[in-house]
Structure 1
Amino acid sequence: VQLPERVVIYELYSNDANDMHYRAKEKITQKLECSLLVVCTEHLVVCQEKKLQSMFFSGQSEKEWNFDSPIRYIKIIGGPPGKEGLILGLKNGQVWEVHLDNIHPLLKVTVNDGIRCLDLSQKKQKLAVVDETGLLQVFNSKSGDLCFQEPNTNSVAFNNLYEDMIAFSGNGSLAIKVLDFPAHRQKMSGFVVGLSGAKVFCLNGSSMVTLELPLSAPMYQYIDRKMYNEAYKVACLGVTDGDWEELGHSALENLEFEVARLAFVKLQDFSYLELIQDLQEQQRKGDTNRDSMIGDIYSHRGKLKEAARLYQKSGQEHKALTMYTDLRMFDLAQEYLGSSDNTDLIRQKADWAKNINEHKAAAEMYLSVGDTQSAIDIYGEKGWADQLIELGRRLDKAERPALLSIAEHLKRLNQASYAAEIYRRLGDSAAVLSLHVEAKEWSQAFALVQTQPQYKSLVYVPYAHWLAENDKFVQAQKAFYKAGKPEEAFKVLQQLIENAISECRFQDAGYYYWIVSRQFLDLAKENIDNQNELLLNFESNETLAGIYYAFHAVHRYLEEPFTSYMPEALFNIARFLMTETCQNKPRGSISAILYCLSKQARKLGANKLAKQILDKIQTLKIPQKFQEQVEIATIAAKARPYSDPEELLPMCYRCSTYNPLASPSSRCMNCGQKFVHSYVSFEILPLVEFVLEEDITDVEAVRLIETPSNDKVKGESWKQEISENRETLQLDVDQDKDPFTSGVGAFEGGDGTFFPVVVNRKTLLSMDSTAVLISKWNPPLRYQYYKNLLPELQITMCHSCFKAFHVDDFELQLLQKGHCPFCRAPPENFLTSDSSDDLLI
């Protein structure tokens, strides 16, 4: 800044080009007389009419250049610090180039009139001169040749970011020109002093104005000349998104993929970027059909007719067909059909109809082209059972897959009868059975299995699962066996047993063990090889069934505040469990059984047994809640007489021997006869088991026992004696002698071996059938026979589980529960049957 007495040199306050804050750098404290003044990096250049002088910032002069004519314009053209170049415009029309490190100036060009304005292009290849007449002339700075000229100009500036762009002003307008293209003008007052990218700097009076220029015009000029790289360079200086889009589309349509890609990257238009990538991939593969690629571009832009025309021209009508069908323009696609493409078009039209929810029309079109499966899928998806039924009746048996698909859909739509109709047409009995099974129509399924037994597993297995789910395990067991899958029955029942025991439902656990035992018995009948092992399993599971059945009462007594059992009954139950658990260890509390037995023994006066049991309990792990009571009872037992009442001692009805209460065996210690308990009160019943002689079959034995008394052969009941002195007739000889009673006494040999009661035909014939109970086990077991030695005591037996009961107890249980308390068989089902009808519930 030149002041009257000094010159102040300022520099930008920051490196930001848009920040217009300056600060003082140097001061030259001398008065300078000059017409023009410019500043360089290290020098101040002063113009005094014809003389040009450079000086340091300190005010010291360095070089001086003298010219023939006054200097009218100076412009710095850049260069290294201390070696900058300047171009000078003289009044005589000469243009000189001066470098601060060179004393010799260089003449560039000469024009006819004095110089008003000068500028040098970015790469110093072009020189622009405006003379006093307002004529702008642009020269090649190397050769001095005139490139072009423009009249009515007062100032000029090259774009410092683009070599071929120039801005000039005059007559109230601003013009932008590239190369030799026509200039683009717009209104503007003032003088242009600089051009950087899309920004033009104008001096209007005493103010500097910055304007944003739209560079669309020069870009479109390049596009018109198909100079896409130059157009891209201009666009980078600053154009609108619309201009970028036009550049991208124009470059793409002329297969200038790189320029188009850069334009769409700027716009972030990924769909076109994918298209460009696909087209470049085609080129790499050698597919360079120009019309086809431009057709792809036009179709992407929505110029469908032009695209179709180009596809046809390139011999790729199928692309036009695909384009129109993808856009659902089936009428236009018809024009590009070949001789065999009509089916595909209709199928695509049907696909489109399906997508727009015109399902009925789509199904009809599928059927018209023979795509039956697609039509079936639509009918099934929409749940149109009537259409499926009609189509199924219309189709021929040969179209088996389609018919099977229709049947599956009808089955899903709960149209089982129509699905069965189709399966019958196809002769698929297994599918018909599956329908009945899924619908739980067991009677129809069993009726069909009767005629086609090869499909038994298809019915009995799901039927068994259904029964098990409905807690009908006896029938489920039979169904599993019918299906030939006993392992499934064992698996289900074993899980039920586990659940019942863990949930303390011991009566249920006993019931499930009884079912398992019957399964082993049935398997033993069919498997001869491992029959003995299966029978052992039968016996052990039946014993466990009885143990858990009895333990239910003990558990309820200990856990619930009240019980319906009398002390005598609880005593008998606990004693039964004590003897049975000596050989079989159930998953129950032994200490609970013994605790219950000791408590009832003390109530009934069996102090000896109570003390023995309490001593045994001390060796076991006692539940916390019983410990104190056990300790008190143990102390109290020592103060009582060490004896048991005779009426509590178990008596053997065979040998009339009283057994000790603490006996660990369920047999008589004298004769070895097994005690038979009533399975409600668990009293010992007056039953003695007997066996048949080896040559007597079970059928014959039952016939002999059931022979009416009138038909039985009676022996002579009188005896006559004649002697010399008298004649005697003795009536009712041996009337009180019972053949069975005479065999009861023979119970032990010399070595202590147990001998059962063996009866012959005469003994069987003499028996009263009402006093004989028969356990009619299924093979391979033999029948078991019991004689009631106290006929006045009425005893009955369940004909399903063969457990004995007092008649009164059994009838009460039937009235309360409606079935046997042990095996849960109702009275009408005591006689089991293996017919399939019995499986139906």
Structure 2
Amino acid sequence: MGGYASAAGRIAPNTDTNATDDKEENVSAVSWNAWYEELVCLSGGGLLSVKAANFPPAAQPLTGSVVGFQGGRVFCLQSNAMQTVGVPLSHAAHQYLQHGKFTEAYAVACLSATRADWERLAVAALNHLEFDVARNAYQRIEDVSKLVLLDDLQERLASGEARGLLTAEVSAHCGRFAEAARAFVAAGRPQRALHMYIDLRMFNKAQEYVDENETGVLARRRAEWARHVSEPRAAAEMLLAAGDVRGATALLADAGRRDMLLELARDMDKGSTEGLRHVAAALVRVGEGAAAADLYHRLTDYNSEAALLVARGEWTRAFALARDHPECSRSVHLAYAQRMARDNNFFEAQKGSETS
């Protein structure tokens, strides 16, 4: 729809539209957009300007007078010849976004927008949980992962989850992790920030959000990552720091780190009975049965020591242990008798049986 300019070269109000009556200098012709009446095109002084609502216009050089404005095209009269000029509307969409007018920004984008414009609109709408606009924009650029995210966020909002938590999730999903962490804390969920940084393997950052109840969780996750990148020593140290001796010894046994298990056996406090038992079991797994037997001896667990010596066929040490600790005698000699019987050495088997 066309308007008119005053004799002073200023825009006069057009009472047939909802367009603004702001005054613009050096304007000789005006045309409102046929498809979106909040957009107006102005010409004069060698410039062509596009203005949205009450926002400042964007200008480009052009000689001639505007006579029509439709979508992203302007029709200008130049020396009795009609010319069609494509005009960018990105600035108008951006102005609406800056003022939180997502529906208007989407309407302008539908007239003329680049992929970058759609991406900007989609991200801004997603950040503000404007689901309809965000979904339409992401459909335009065919971003399936964001469409799935939108469905999830909308379901969670409908189920009563706080908007603050959802905006934090959006920030995290878009890679703005520091912003997401602050939002999680503001929403009263600092543990979400902790687990976000843990999942990202950003353990130093995660440490900032850990409380006394989460220390073990952080240490175990750090250990899992160290194990994943083939750093068994670092992983074991982290598990030990978390008090998970069983996990640490199992990890070292899986990695075949005899040296580290032997070091652990030497250094661990004798009072850590349960932990030393895990070390002994791991030593057996890596073929260090003698060291494991010595460890059981330190624990005064003579029955376990005897069972290990018998399993290894170390009969001399087993009999010596049985002599010094009679509580082991029956199990050692009975096992010896059974072994001799399997070897068809019935005389030794009889003797062992009688001794037991």
- CA–CA distance in structure 1, aligned partners of residues 62 and 19 of structure 2: 30
1:347 match: secondary structure: helix
Is 1:427 equivalent to 2:300 in the alignment? Answer: no
2:51 match: secondary structure: strand
- CA–CA distance in structure 2, aligned partners of residues 213 and 455 of structure 1: 100
Shift, 1:230, TM fit? 1.0
- CA–CA distance in structure 2, aligned partners of residues 836 and 206 of structure 1: 125
1:185 match: secondary structure: strand
Which residue does the alignment assign to 2:183? Answer: 310
Shift, 1:223, TM fit? 1.3
Which residue does the alignment assign to 2:168? Answer: 295
C-alpha contact 2:97 2:124 (8 A) present in aligned 1: yes
Structure 1 segment 355-434 matched on structure 2, within 5 A: 355-392=228-265, 394=268, 396-399=272-275, 402-403=278-279, 405-411=281-287, 415-418=288-291, 427=304
Residues 404, 147 of structure 1: CA spacing in aligned structure 2 closer, same or farther, 3 A cutoff? same
Which residue does the alignment assign to 1:345? Answer: 218
Residues 389, 452 of structure 1: CA spacing in aligned structure 2 closer, same or farther, 3 A cutoff? farther
Shift, 1:229, TM fit? 0.8
Equivalent in 141, 147, 168 of residue 16 of structure 2: 141
- CA–CA distance in structure 1, aligned partners of residues 28 and 129 of structure 2: 43
1:383 match: secondary structure: coil
Structure 1 segment 8-407 matched on structure 2, within 5 A: 120=1, 128-130=3-5, 134-141=9-16, 147=21, 150-205=24-79, 208-288=82-162, 290-392=163-265, 394=268, 396-399=272-275, 402-403=278-279, 405-407=281-283
Residues 163, 408 of structure 1: CA spacing in aligned structure 2 closer, same or farther, 3 A cutoff? farther
The root-mean-square deviation of aligned C-alpha atoms, in Å, is: 4.1
- CA–CA distance in structure 1, aligned partners of residues 274 and 340 of structure 2: 26
C-alpha contact 1:420 1:435 (8 A) present in aligned 2: no
2:173 match: secondary structure: helix
Structure 1 segment 248-647 matched on structure 2, within 5 A: 248-288=122-162, 290-392=163-265, 394=268, 396-399=272-275, 402-403=278-279, 405-411=281-287, 415-418=288-291, 427=304, 435=312, 451-453=333-335, 456=338, 460=342
Amino acid at match of 2:278: A
Residues 145, 375 of structure 1: CA spacing in aligned structure 2 closer, same or farther, 3 A cutoff? closer
Amino acid at match of 2:74: V
1:239 match: secondary structure: coil
- CA–CA distance in structure 1, aligned partners of residues 203 and 169 of structure 2: 19
C-alpha contact 2:127 2:167 (8 A) present in aligned 1: yes
1:452 match: secondary structure: helix
Amino acid at match of 2:183: L
C-alpha contact 2:92 2:108 (8 A) present in aligned 1: yes
Amino acid at match of 1:167: C
- CA–CA distance in structure 1, aligned partners of residues 177 and 341 of structure 2: 63
- CA–CA distance in structure 2, aligned partners of residues 321 and 355 of structure 1: 20
Shift, 1:131, TM fit? 6.5
Shift, 1:399, TM fit? 4.4
TM-score normalised to structure 1 length: 0.34
- CA–CA distance in structure 1, aligned partners of residues 217 and 226 of structure 2: 14
Shift, 1:176, TM fit? 1.1
2:286 match: secondary structure: helix
Amino acid at match of 1:279: L
Shift, 1:371, TM fit? 0.8
TM-score normalised to structure 2 length: 0.74
C-alpha contact 1:140 1:147 (8 A) present in aligned 2: no
C-alpha contact 1:138 1:146 (8 A) present in aligned 2: yes
Structure with bigger strand share is 1
- Over alpha carbons, which structure has the higher Rg? 1
2:100 match: secondary structure: coil
Amino acid at match of 1:129: Y
Long gaps (5+) in structure 2: 319-329, 350-356
C-alpha contact 2:307 2:332 (8 A) present in aligned 1: no
Long gaps (5+) in structure 1: 1-119, 121-126, 461-478, 483-832
Amino acid at match of 2:157: Q
C-alpha contact 1:191 1:203 (8 A) present in aligned 2: yes
C-alpha contact 1:137 1:146 (8 A) present in aligned 2: no
C-alpha contact 1:430 1:455 (8 A) present in aligned 2: no
Which residue does the alignment assign to 1:486? Answer: none
- CA–CA distance in structure 2, aligned partners of residues 136 and 294 of structure 1: 42
Residues 433, 258 of structure 1: CA spacing in aligned structure 2 closer, same or farther, 3 A cutoff? farther
Higher relative contact order (CA 8 A, sep 6+): 2
* Residue-by-residue CA offset, 1:758-801 (whole Å, 9 max, x unaligned): xxxxxxxxxxxxxxxxxxxxxxxxxxxxxxxxxxxxxxxxxxxx
* Residue-by-residue CA offset, 1:98-141 (whole Å, 9 max, x unaligned): xxxxxxxxxxxxxxxxxxxxxx3xxxxxx523567655445233
Amino acid at match of 1:236: C
Residues 374, 204 of structure 1: CA spacing in aligned structure 2 closer, same or farther, 3 A cutoff? farther
- CA–CA distance in structure 1, aligned partners of residues 105 and 241 of structure 2: 56
- CA–CA distance in structure 1, aligned partners of residues 336 and 347 of structure 2: 17
- CA–CA distance in structure 2, aligned partners of residues 160 and 272 of structure 1: 33
Structure 1 segment 713-792 matched on structure 2, within 5 A: none
- CA–CA distance in structure 1, aligned partners of residues 59 and 108 of structure 2: 17
Residues 399, 308 of structure 1: CA spacing in aligned structure 2 closer, same or farther, 3 A cutoff? closer
Q: Percent identity?
A: 33
Shift, 1:286, TM fit? 0.9
